[in-house]
Structure 1
Amino acid sequence: MKIRVLIADDNSFIREGMRIILHSFEEFEVVATVGDGAEAVEFCKANEVDVALLDVRMPHMNGVEATRRLTEETKTRPLILTTFDDDEYILDAIRFGARGYLLKNNDPERIRDAIKSVHNGHNVLQDVALDKLKSSMGAPAPADSGTPFDRSPFTERELDVMALIAKGYSNKEISKELFISEGTIANYITSILSKTTLEHRTQIAIYYLTGKIR
């Protein structure tokens, strides 16, 4: 079964370009293209949509508010489309349930992989956007500061897992790096989440890098 995708962007050129890109891959069915967040929410409430690609800056309802509504009212998984100018929205989008954020200038294969990853229940944390986020927050990475957050609740292995999540590693990649099973990795992530108020791995990455829970 194809992955049902909605594209929400107030720029018709980007909307159409994204539609053409996704149609070039057999995995996807673009079920709708809309011009603002309100339209995206209403369509997803009335139709089955697997992943919603949401621009951040849209009239009537922006991508952050649409993310919140989609997370609360539908089963659609929101994936934010962002530019470097949208850094101020990233933390709110993640807090409201965005499964990640993707820069609009990515190549088609990267866009394909991100949508598939989100559809499969993973979170997409793009390194270049994360670096920009760290810079905007003025927070050094753990390797620079030593103790950006309270490490005491976590085991050394949990800290290893958190560090690799912050680098954008998938569970499979972490498994290879640490020589432990993917199931064990999942257990460590569950333990990390239970020790914090965080809900998913994207938040773990930001917490590890900034010491802040959002």
Structure 2
Amino acid sequence: MAIKIIIADDNPFIREGLKIILTSYEEFDVLALVNDGEEAVKYCRTHDVDIALLDVRMPRMNGVEATKQIVASTKTKPVILTTFDDDDYILGAIKNGAKGYLLKNNDPERIRDALKSVYHGTSIIQDEMLDKIKSTLSNDQHVSEAKIDTSLFTQRELEIMAFIAKGYSNKEISEQMYISGGTVANYITSILDKTGLKHRTQIAVYYLTGKVY
């Protein structure tokens, strides 16, 4: 069954270009192209959409706010795709429940693989963005020096959090730690329960910065 996607971008050339790229892969079915976040939210509320691919800067409603509303009212998984690697947008999207954050200059194959990963339950954020978040927050005088309270976690959980922060998939973590994928998933569930976080991307940011977003 094809992964059902909508594309929200106020630039018609970008919308059409992404549609051409994604429809070239049999894994995807592009249901609609919309102009802004408000249209994306309305569409997701009235249709069965697997992934909403959202630009950040759009009129009427940006991708960060659209992410918040889509997560709150639908089962659609929002993925931010943008040319802007602005820290505020990254953190806002993550806080609002984005399942992925990718730059538009990625190769089509990388976008395809990322969307497939999101569909199958893995949150995606590029290494460059995690590094940028860590660097910016560590240099921000308004950010406290609080770090992860390691006493909350078992040694296994801390190891898994470190792997997640490096961008490892569950399969790769299981291979590195010589445990089953199910065991990895159980550890991740435990980490989410202890921190109140919602998904892997937030675990990565939390591990790198000591902050909950």
Letter in 2 for 1:83: T
Greater mean deviation of Cα atoms: 50-59 or 192-201: 192-201
Output aligned runs, 1:82-161, within 5 Å: 82-138=82-138, 148-161=147-160
Q: 2:79: which partner in 1?
A: 79
Structural RMSD (CA) = 1.5
Letter in 2 for 1:63: G
Structure-2 separation of matches of 1:31 and 1:126: 26
Q: 2:38: which partner in 1?
A: 38
Shift of 1:84: 4.0
Q: 2:142: which partner in 1?
A: none
Letter in 1 for 2:160: V
CA contact 2:3–2:50 (8 Å) conserved in 1 = yes
TM-score, normalized by length of structure 2? 0.93
CA contact 1:84–1:129 (8 Å) conserved in 2 = no
CA contact 2:100–2:124 (8 Å) conserved in 1 = yes
Structure-2 separation of matches of 1:58 and 1:151: 40
CA contact 1:101–1:125 (8 Å) conserved in 2 = yes
DSSP-derived class of the 2:7 partner:
strand
Gap regions ≥5 residues in structure 2: 140-145
Letter in 1 for 2:21: I
Letter in 2 for 1:32: A
CA contact 2:85–2:103 (8 Å) conserved in 1 = no
Letter in 1 for 2:60: H
CA contact 1:103–1:129 (8 Å) conserved in 2 = no
Shift of 1:76: 0.9
Q: How many residues align?
A: 208
CA contact 1:41–1:66 (8 Å) conserved in 2 = yes
CA contact 2:79–2:98 (8 Å) conserved in 1 = yes
DSSP-derived class of the 1:195 partner:
helix
Q: 1:204: which partner in 2?
A: 203
Alignment pair present for 1:6 and 2:1: no
Letter in 1 for 2:123: N
Structure-1 separation of matches of 2:22 and 2:54: 14
Letter in 1 for 2:187: Y
DSSP-derived class of the 1:136 partner:
helix
CA contact 2:85–2:129 (8 Å) conserved in 1 = no
Q: 2:187: which partner in 1?
A: 188
Structure-2 separation of matches of 1:131 and 1:102: 14
Shift of 1:75: 1.3
Letter in 2 for 1:157: R
TM-score, normalized by length of structure 1? 0.93
Structure-2 separation of matches of 1:203 and 1:44: 23
Letter in 2 for 1:127: D
DSSP-derived class of the 1:213 partner:
coil
CA contact 1:56–1:86 (8 Å) conserved in 2 = no
CA contact 2:80–2:102 (8 Å) conserved in 1 = yes
Q: 1:143: which partner in 2?
A: none
CA contact 2:83–2:103 (8 Å) conserved in 1 = yes
% identical equivalent positions: 66
Structure-2 separation of matches of 1:30 and 1:60: 23
Shift of 1:91: 1.4
Structure-2 separation of matches of 1:157 and 1:16: 45
Gap regions ≥5 residues in structure 1: 140-146
Letter in 2 for 1:159: L
